[in-house]
């Protein structure tokens, strides 16, 4: 009896540890989207003080300079292991650090923030769809309905509660650029899961992608109009380079590796909600009832996707087994 009791206690302790780990893992994507939400406000503040090409280049340059003393020695020691991984690292860097970030910066010149928010909220749906084809993951009822509910919630927030206003506006160049940006980021999240690199620490993988971004962004910076760095934009570049380019990607990459791309990307819907709240306190933008309704719907969508795990269609093997049993 004592052996059984001890076994039960060990099992309960193990389940408790797993539950605590699982709950703690949700802080990873939550922290990342909070940092990115602040960065959206930073981008608004930077719009009149520094060009998109400059902040896009300098943010990764700052990250590379800060990373190098701590990460480069280990990268050099593992260069033989890293060399065959370079093609994949370049693809990840171009997708997640260059295409996504650059298109988002430039899309703002051609479309409204409302459209950018709506198109950005499509990321979970894109990840779920791509995961079915690229990772073989089954669609779930919660994933579908939770995503739709969250998207409607985000739509309420970014459209100021007027959904009909969104439907009346047509697609423009900025909308297309933003959609391509989110598609690139969705593919990036899928490839992070599909291309595990166990010999590389998360910080090493991020550092290598940052180097890719610096190299690719440099020609764009070189041939674009310059506004220069000064006291008004240096703090903004610092936040983008440290928090948005180092802290948030580290948290996000760890979240994707721990929770998976589909579950992590659901938290992306919180960015417009967080941004509205932060902007209300920092930019004195007013809060309205649709912020509360949209926020509740978004969180409800996240919970629905997490809790309703029933597959959309029964697996063929299970269906055949049931038929044979009859």
Mean pLDDT confidence for 230-248: 90
Token duo for residue 152: 């409607």
Q: Is 283 helix (H, G, I), strand (E, B) or coil?
A: coil
Statement: residue 31 has pLDDT above 90: yes
What is the per-residue pLDDT for 58?
A: 93
Mean pLDDT confidence for 138-160: 80
Statement: residue 159 has pLDDT above 80: no
pLDDT tens per residue across span 107-124:
777 766 656 776 777 777
What is the per-residue pLDDT for 291?
A: 75
Note the pTM of the prediction, 2 decimals: 0.74
What is the per-residue pLDDT for 314?
A: 55
DSSP notation for 48-101: TTS-HHHHHHHHHHHHHHHHHHHHHHHHHHTHHHHGGGHHHHHHHHIIIIIIHH
For tokens 């595990």, name the residue: 196
Token duo for residue 199: 């010999």
What is the per-residue pLDDT for 324?
A: 42
Mean pLDDT confidence for 261-285: 77
Identify whether the C-beta of residue 45 lies closer than 8 Å to the C-beta of residue 236: yes
Mean pLDDT confidence for 200-228: 90
Q: Is 279 helix (H, G, I), strand (E, B) or coil?
A: helix
Mean pLDDT confidence for 293-304: 79
Confidence of residue 18 (pLDDT cuts 50, 70, 90): very low
Confidence of residue 323 (pLDDT cuts 50, 70, 90): very low
Confidence of residue 170 (pLDDT cuts 50, 70, 90): low
Positive/negative CA dihedral, 311, 316, 318, 322: positive
Q: What is the 3-state secondary structure (H, E, C) of 176-243?
A: HHHHHHHHHHHHHHHHHHHCCCCCCCHHHHHHHHHHHHHHHHHHHHHCCCCCCCCCCCHHHHHHHHHH
Mean pLDDT confidence for 63-85: 93
Please tell me the distance from the alpha carbon of residue 75 to that of residue 27, in angstroms, as a whole number. Answer: 28
Token duo for residue 132: 């079915």
Please tell me the distance from the alpha carbon of residue 70 to that of residue 66, in angstroms, as a whole number. Answer: 8
Q: Is 311 helix (H, G, I), strand (E, B) or coil?
A: strand
Among residues of the chain, what percentage have pLDDT more than 70?
A: 84
State in Å, rounded, how far the first CA of the chain is from the last one: 42
What is the per-residue pLDDT for 28?
A: 92
What is the per-residue pLDDT for 209?
A: 94
Any idea what DSSP says for residue 266?
A: G
């Amino acid at each position: 009896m004592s052996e059984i009791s001890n076994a039960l206690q060990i099992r309960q302790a193990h389940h408790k540890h797993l539950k605590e780990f699982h709950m703690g893992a949700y802080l990873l994507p939550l922290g990342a989207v909070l940092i990115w939400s602040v960065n959206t406000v930073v981008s608004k503040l930077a719009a009149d003080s520094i060009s998109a090409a400059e902040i896009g280049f300098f943010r990764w340059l700052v990250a590379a300079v800060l990373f190098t003393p701590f990460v480069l020695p280990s990268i050099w020691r593992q260069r033989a292991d890293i060399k065959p991984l370079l093609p994949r690292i370049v693809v990840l860097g171009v997708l997640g650090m260059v295409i996504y970030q650059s298109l988002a910066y430039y899309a703002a010149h051609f479309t409204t923030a409302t459209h950018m928010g709506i198109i950005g909220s499509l990321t979970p749906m894109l990840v779920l769809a791509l995961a079915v084809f690229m990772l073989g993951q089954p669609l779930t009822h919660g994933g579908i309905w939770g995503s739709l509910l969250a998207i409607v919630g985000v739509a309420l927030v970014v459209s100021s509660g007027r959904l009909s206003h969104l439907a009346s506006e047509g697609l423009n160049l900025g909308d297309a650029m933003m959609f391509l940006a989110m598609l690139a980021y969705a593919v990036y999240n899928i490839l992070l899961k599909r291309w595990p690199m166990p010999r590389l620490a998360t910080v090493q993988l991020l550092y290598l992608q940052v180097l890719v971004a610096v190299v690719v962004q440099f020609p764009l910076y070189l041939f674009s109009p310059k506004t220069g760095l000064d006291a008004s934009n240096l703090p903004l570049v610092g936040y983008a380079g440290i928090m948005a380019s180092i802290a948030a990607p580290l948290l996000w990459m760890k979240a994707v590796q721990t929770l998976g791309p589909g579950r992590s990307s659901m938290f992306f819907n919180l960015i417009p909600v967080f941004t509205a709240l932060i902007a209300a306190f920092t930019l004195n933008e007013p809060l309205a009832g649709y912020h509360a309704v949209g926020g509740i719907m978004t969180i409800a969508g996240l919970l629905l996707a997490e809790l309703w795990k029933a597959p959309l269609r029964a697996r063929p093997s299970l269906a055949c087994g049931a038929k044979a049993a009859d």
